[in-house]
Chains A and B, each alone.
Chain A
Amino acid sequence: MTNMERHNYDVLIIGAGGAGLRAAVEAREAGLRVAIICKSLFGKAHTVMAEGGAAASMANVNDKDSWMVHFRDTMRGGKFLNHYRMAELHAKESPDRIWELETWGALFDRTKEGKISQRNFGGHEYPRLAHVGDRTGLELIRTMQQRIVALQQKDGRETGDMESHIKVFAELTITDILKENGKVSGAYGYWRESGTEVLFEAPAVVIATGGVGKTFKITSNSWEGTGDGHALALKAGANLVDMEFLQFHPTGMVWPPSVRGILVTESVRGEGGVLTNNIGERFMFKYIPDVFKDKYADNEAEADRWYLDQDNNRRPPELLPRDEVARAINSEVKAGRGTEHGGVFLDVSKRIPADVIKKRLPSMWHQFYELAGVDITKEAMEVGPTCHYVMGGVEVEPDNAAAVGVPGLFAAGEVAGGMHGSNRLGGNSLSDLLVFGRRAGMGAVEYVKNNGANPVSDASIKAATARIEAPFSREGGENSYSLHAELQEVTHNLVGIIRTGKEVEEAIEKIADIRKRSANVSVAGGRKFNPGFHLAFDLDNMLLVAESTAKSALRREESRGGHTRDDFPGMDSKWRQVNHIASFDGKQVNVKAQPLPPMPKELFELFDIHELEKYMTPEEIAKGGSN
């Protein structure tokens, strides 16, 4: 415990992406002292990668839009596995969250009347995504970052110290969430720069650590997406819900190899991009599932007309929800109709003039031009599925984002589960961050006011220290880089986009084996900014995530959203009634089924009964929602 730093705050926020920063703003505005932890530099969080926009039914472009329509779209996209209350709160509150950003200095693209412009996106019935070109995530993170600075400046004027109430701890990794008497008491970690250990005492901890993409081989996620929050929550006694659902974004770059997986925003399709295979066929028309037949055009002529007249035409099938498009691309490639590098073609150059492409999709143009040497105003892009988002996550109470089972722990953003059901709609992530980031902040404030401090015991500190020291005290163990590569290979091949029971079982065994070996990982070099050392901890987290995913995937014997079983290709209403809950007993992850909360009558009645029949059992329909 030499040189351990000690800090004391009311609320500790782990993760400085959109959700974490929004929670921080909320907690500070309620008068609390807040620490924000980021694993990388402030403002680099994965939120910057979001391109398309933030979905909110402001009805600026089409006045038929409303929260009810947004709610319906979200439930439909998630194949009715979403927690209805989260989807409801999200649909109702996202317009306010977007408008609020504007009062903090955000500059969204405008409509002719000077309102915030909104664009079309897969699964959204009306143009709904507030955006800034194709760098909306950057706008969101920067606005929030600058809002934090604004609050710090205000504190500076009032207390003489800008960091008196909000302090950002950049490049710090949290290794444990600490509990005393069954309640959260703080967290333990180390500075990445120096390796110095840090203790945070705080009665409330908000986890906002984002996703798990780095568990997989081909991913759009950065190195930070290692499922830290998922693992921290599991180890602290919380549950993970529906971890079998991972979104493979249909369009990642496939060439050159070094950029494999990097995202090609869905706006490319929203703006008129067309998917074709190597024989020039616009194949998506073949893959419209029955549940979407009445919403999507079945011929090119109608699909093309939709861009000009959205009221009288059905939308092009390129804009189907992401899971459908990803599976379609996967099937085309498997059938031998893929491109040279194992993708399909995505083309905007034939439909949109070059200058319009550069204006509407500036960073896409830039990305392809600089990284792949492809000018998207002249040629087609090569794209294929990439692991993008995890729908599963910490089981929370919808209204205050409190983690079920752990008093004082909150979770928001990608790390929280339930909101998106089995599949997330594009654009719903950024608004999710804002809506539930704020609610997690509110939840933490209320909790702190009712509970007060919960000091950390020496025994907890000792245990946490021992864990950090372990990899240095071992010798001759395996290298964390190669174990990580091995894990990615297993998840990619055996629990990837298409799964079978047998393969998943094999994966579970292999993951357990890697976990055993990872207990022996040793680290070369010292503590100072040592990536090998950092990866040793990340690896531990990814293994827990992979185990949760594989075990949940094995149980769900159907295909739905971000979970496709080759041995159970259909969707089964029986399985819609359960969530999978993963918990950790200190040795392994256990998964059990838990009934989904039934939708109340007023929400149930927002849907057309014939649509519900596609998802629900006759008994559920007969009940007509709960009261």
Chain B
Amino acid sequence: MTRKLNLRIWRGDSTDGGLQDVVVEANEGEVVLDVIHRVQATQMGDLAVRWNCKAGKCGSCSMEINGKPRLACMTQVASYSEDETITVTPLRAFPVIKDLVTDVSFNYRKAMEIPAYEHPKELAPGEARMEQVDVERSQEFRKCIECFLCQDTCHVIRDHEENKKSFAGPRFFIRIAELDMHPLDMLKNRKRTAQEEHGLGMCNITKCCTEVCPEHIKITDNAIIPMKERVVDIKYDPARMFAGLLKREKRN
């Protein structure tokens, strides 16, 4: 079954741009990325859009569809009513390059700031033994496909450009949590640096990152809040404060 679809696409670059209306055919079962591709092949040969796998596994086709950060390949056209105009814009937290493509280099810079995994020196390759229950928490975070929708929706940087320098964002809080919960990681100061260097305290846990995550990672409940609690452990815990009179927390 084919129908006409009203699509409104943002076109332009970092200097100027605006929404343009197009009418395009949509077939049964198609996703928004399909109709964007049809527009590209038939009406706007130079329409810029990023995509790769078209199966929700690579996290390339992140954009905002009717104002919500989403993967275009995982958004069914049928989820909108027949008379509805579907508006697609680039991610609004990052600088636009052209049309639906934004400059997400912020995220790669932040990735380089998170200290890497540190394997125990005495454990040769093949000698590691880890229980399944011990790796599961970190495995959840390693499901991340780096679509950066959580980064896009996070108001800390979306609404405050100036915070970008001091805030790593949800994607990298789950990376920090993954490493802090990794049963073998040897680096000890992850909690303190999460708070003092990567801006964990900037997060006011309004949970938008969790809402938009296409992998359904419980970013807030399973990574950010546990990390905030781990920071409390080393900085604000009442029991430890009393004990701290005797022994100060040096590690972590």
Contact = CB atoms under 8 A, between A and B. Distances in A.
Asked if chains A and B are in direct contact (CB within 8 A), the reply is yes
Interface of A: 40-44, 46, 48-49, 58, 95-96, 99-100, 102-105, 107, 109-110, 113-115, 132-133, 135, 138-139, 142, 146-147, 149-150, 152-153, 156, 162, 168, 170, 193, 222-224, 255-259, 262-263, 363, 366-367, 370-372, 479, 481-482, 485, 523-526, 528-533
B7 to A, nearest CB: 15
Contacts of A193: 97-98, 101
Given A100-B125, A531-B40, A259 B54 contact: yes
A95 B115 contact: no
Nearest to A260: B29
B55 A107 contact: no
Contacts of A481: 40-41, 45
21 contacts: A41-B50, A41-B104, A43-B146, A44-B60, A44-B146, A49-B55, A49-B58, A99-B126, A102-B126, A102-B128, A103-B119, A103-B125, A105-B119, A138-B142, A149-B112, A224-B52, A371-B55, A479-B45, A481-B45, A528-B98, A531-B45
A103 B126 CA distance: 9
Given A222-B54, A255-B29, A258-B29, A104 B119 contact: yes
Given A113-B129, A533-B46, 14 more contacts: A48-B145, A49-B53, A99-B125, A107-B138, A114-B131, A146-B117, A150-B117, A224-B52, A259-B55, A524-B45, A525-B45, A528-B48, A529-B98, A531-B46
Interface string B87-98: 000000000011
B53 A48 contact: yes
A370 B143 contact: no
A103 B142 CA distance: 16
A419 B98 CA distance: 41
Contacts of B145: 48, 138
Contacts of A150: 116-117
B224 interface: no
A256 B123 contact: no
B28 A529 contact: no
Contacts of A139: 142
B197 interface: no
Nearest to B60: A44
B56 A530 contact: no
B34 interface: yes
Interface string B122-165: 01011011111001001100111110000000000000000000
A95 B126 contact: yes
A375 B108 CA distance: 36
Given A114-B131, A152-B112, A138 B182 contact: no
A406 B32 CA distance: 44
A162 B111 CA distance: 12
Contact of A105 (B28, B125, B132, B182): B182
Nearest to A106: B142
Contacts of B13: 528
Contacts of B128: 99, 102-103
Given A138-B145, A529-B99, A531-B45, A257 B29 contact: yes
B142 A102 contact: no
A481 B112 CA distance: 37
Given A44-B59, A257-B29, A371-B74, A135 B143 contact: yes
A366 B145 CA distance: 14
B52 to A, nearest CB: 4
Nearest to B35: A258
Contacts of A46: 52-53
A110 B130 contact: yes
B117 A40 contact: no
Contact count band on B? 35 or more
B54 A142 contact: no
B228 interface: no
B30 interface: yes
Contacts of B41: 481-482, 485
A118 to B, nearest CB: 13
Contact of B48 (A40, A95, A107, A529): A529
Contacts of B40: 481, 531-532
For A115, A147, A482, which residue has the most chain B Cβ atoms within 10 angstroms?
Answer: A115
The 3 closest A-B pairs by CB, nearest first: A256-B29, A525-B46, A105-B117
Contacts of A43: 146
B58 A529 contact: no
Contact of B142 (A99, A142, A530): A142
A252 B138 CA distance: 30
A135 B58 CA distance: 11
B130 A114 contact: yes
Contacts of B29: 255-259, 372
A153 B125 contact: no
Contact of B57 (A107, A138, A152, A257): A138
A95 B125 CA distance: 10
Contacts of B30: 256-258
A49 B46 contact: no
Nearest to A156: B112
Given A41-B60, A531-B48, A149 B116 contact: yes
A147 B118 CA distance: 11
B130 A44 contact: no
Contacts of A222: 51-54, 58
Contacts of A48: 53, 57-58, 145
A531 B108 CA distance: 23
B119 A107 contact: no
Interface in B1-52: 13, 27-31, 34, 40-41, 45-52
Contacts of B51: 222-223
A262 B54 contact: yes
Contacts of A256: 28-30
A533 to B, nearest CB: 7
A614 B107 CA distance: 55
Contacts of A102: 119, 125-126, 128
Contacts of B48: 528-531
Contacts of A371: 31, 55-56, 74
B129 A114 contact: yes
A370 B145 CA distance: 16
A496 to B, nearest CB: 21
Contacts of A257: 27-30
B11 to A, nearest CB: 11
A262 B53 CA distance: 9
B58 A44 contact: yes
A132 B48 CA distance: 34
Contacts of B117: 104-105, 146, 150
A147 B111 CA distance: 12
Contacts of A149: 111-112, 116
Contact of A529 (B97, B125, B179): B97
- Select the residue from A96, A257, A523 with max chain B CB neighbours within 10 A: A257
Contacts of B139: 107, 109, 132-133
Contacts of B47: 531
A162 B115 CA distance: 12
A367 B71 CA distance: 13
A526 B125 CA distance: 51
B56 A366 contact: yes
B46 A146 contact: no
A103 B123 contact: yes
Contacts of A42: 108
Nearest to A100: B125
Nearest to A481: B41
A49 B73 CA distance: 15
Which of B27, B112, B144 has most chain A Cβ within 10 Å?
Answer: B112
B54 A531 contact: no
A211 B13 CA distance: 32
Contacts of B50: 40-41
A528 B17 CA distance: 15
